[in-house]
Amino acid sequence: MTGKIVLLPGDGIGAEVIYAAKDVLEAITKKYNKPFEFSSYDIGGVAIDNHNTPLPDETVKACKNADAVLLGAVGGPKWDNNPSDLRPERGLLGIRKALDLYANLRPVKGFKKLLHASPLKEEIIQGSDLLIVRELTGGLYFGQPSERFDNGNAVVDTLAYTRKEMERIIDKAFQSAELRNKQLTSVDKANVLESSKLWREIVEEKKADYPNVTVDHVLVDAAAMKLITNPTQFDVIVTENMFGDILSDEASVLTGSLGMLPSASLAEDGVGLYEPAHGSAPDIAGKGIANPIAMILSAAMMLRYSFNMNEEAQAIEDAVEKIVNQNYYTADLKNDNGELVNTTEMTQLIVDAI
């Protein structure tokens, strides 16, 4: 079986790092005899320039017919003053919605040689290795009503979820915990919010289906504190949309650079979308110095979650770890004892390690 992969390079460094991921996947093909078929489509600013829309129909159609989608990043100053329907990020929100990507998975792992790049103390972040599972299609960002009333002097936003929406993300988190260290932390605000009370009930009900996973509940304010005072206590964290939005940005400081952080966005049965946590980095775009590791690790997540290729995913992750531990680094990281390399060189080192 040939895996059908759609590449959405997007803008800025998105287009530079996505071909690094492709090179790494081709190394996997060589080593494990697993063929992939690639096609590229426009999204974001480049799609606005070429098609006058951030998300052309042909892009949506190709993604729906693929096995998995790799996305670089969208956006840049060129389109900042466009009207809202001609903004690059509309393309991103649109594709997430079109593919019903309800589960956002963000692994956060501190590499030993990069601990110094984090503003947090090395002894605190040493050994941290966690996965945040964030609900992506419900909650406060989508609930209705969301409006002003009383002549604009009062507002309402709505935090709405159905049991089914909660169950599917909580199941996904239990399943992710089973693949890792079997420890799940559910984050909520059950002392105040009705939505969190139902959430907590469902987590308790689901325990019986996953007897190997230990579960604890932490209130979101306490979780925010524990993430930066004692991050090694966490394995998998599951939480609703807004809490996950906030906690995943907070957790990114554990690694030292945005250039190291991959993500996966998954649908129930359909196509998964994999992208780095960073944006299009217009300040360094075109210079060939972007760190390709977040994108490459996103491709590894794709192998694991969309293709069930665990060994191949692990091979990519091990190769990245090996090269980082050999003190090679890109310009976003600082390593006084290391060797500075550019995007192409870093990619080649990882390909060779595979």
Say if residues 8 and 43 touch (Cβ distance below 8 Å).
Answer: yes
What is the nearest approach in angstroms of ligand NAI to the Cβ of residue 130?
A: 21
Q: Examine residue 283 and tell whether it contacts ligand NAI (CB under 6 A).
A: yes
Distance, in Å, from the CA atom of 297 to the CA atom of 108, rounded to the nearest integer, reads 11
What is the nearest approach in angstroms of ligand NAI to the Cβ of residue 16?
A: 9
Catalytic residue check, 221: yes
Of ligand NAI, Mg ion, none, which one sits near residue 67, judging by CB under 5 to 8 A according to partner kind? none
Locate all alpha helices (DSSP H) within the chain, ordered by sequence: 14-32, 45-51, 57-64, 88-98, 122-125, 163-179, 194-206, 220-229, 241-252, 293-306, 310-325, 343-353
Of Mg ion, ligand NAI, none, which one sits near residue 74, judging by CB under 5 to 8 A according to partner kind? ligand NAI
Q: Examine residue 76 and tell whether it contacts ligand NAI (CB under 6 A).
A: yes
Paired tokens of 244: 């996950």
Q: State the catalytic residue, choosing from 49, 209, 221, 318.
A: 221
Please give the annotated binding residues for Mg(2+), written as ranges.
Answer: 221, 245, 249
Enumerate binding residues for Mg ion (CB under 5 A): 245
Helix, strand, or coil (residue 136): coil
Q: State the catalytic residue, choosing from 11, 189, 206, 329.
A: 189
What is the nearest approach in angstroms of Mg ion to the Cβ of residue 324?
A: 25
Closest by alpha carbon to 132, among 164, 109, 112?
A: 109
Please give the annotated binding residues for substrate, written as ranges.
Answer: 96, 106, 134, 221
Amino acid at residue number 201: E
Please give the annotated binding residues for NAD(+), written as ranges.
Answer: 76-89, 279-291
Out of 266, 279, 306, 313, the only residue in the binding site for ligand NAI (CB under 6 A) is 279
Q: Examine residue 3 and tell whether it contacts ligand NAI (CB under 6 A).
A: no
Interaction residues for ligand NAI, span 77-116 (CB under 6 A): 89, 92
Catalytic residue check, 41: no
Of ligand NAI, Mg ion, none, which one sits near residue 281, judging by CB under 5 to 8 A according to partner kind? ligand NAI
Residue 350, CB half-sphere, CA atoms under 13 Å: how many? 36
Catalytic residue check, 189: yes
Interaction residues for ligand NAI, span 192-251 (CB under 6 A): none
Q: Examine residue 258 and tell whether it contacts ligand NAI (CB under 6 A).
A: yes
Paired tokens of 306: 């969309």
Contacts 24+ apart (CB under 8 A), 116-125: 116/256, 116/334, 116/335, 117/255, 117/256, 117/257, 117/333, 117/334, 117/335, 118/253, 118/254, 118/255, 118/256, 119/253, 120/228, 120/253, 120/254, 124/228, 124/229, 124/230, 124/231, 125/231, 125/254
- By DSSP bridging, strand 236-239 and strand 214-219 are unpaired
What is the nearest approach in angstroms of Mg ion to the Cβ of residue 134?
A: 9
Q: Examine residue 73 and tell whether it contacts ligand NAI (CB under 6 A).
A: yes
Closest by alpha carbon to 259, among 348, 173, 342?
A: 342
Q: State the catalytic residue, choosing from 4, 23, 64, 141.
A: 141
Of ligand NAI, Mg ion, none, which one sits near residue 190, judging by CB under 5 to 8 A according to partner kind? none
Q: Which stretch binds ligand NAI (CB under 6 A): 24-32, 59-67, 283-291, 316-324?
A: 283-291
What is the nearest approach in angstroms of ligand NAI to the Cβ of residue 308?
A: 26
Distance, in Å, from the CA atom of 280 to the CA atom of 34, rounded to the nearest integer, reads 30
Distance, in Å, from the CA atom of 228 to the CA atom of 209, rounded to the nearest integer, reads 31
Catalytic residue check, 249: yes
Residues designated as active site: 141, 189, 221, 245, 249
Contacting residues toward ligand NAI, per CB under 6 A: 13, 73-76, 89, 92, 258-259, 275, 278-284, 290-291, 294, 332
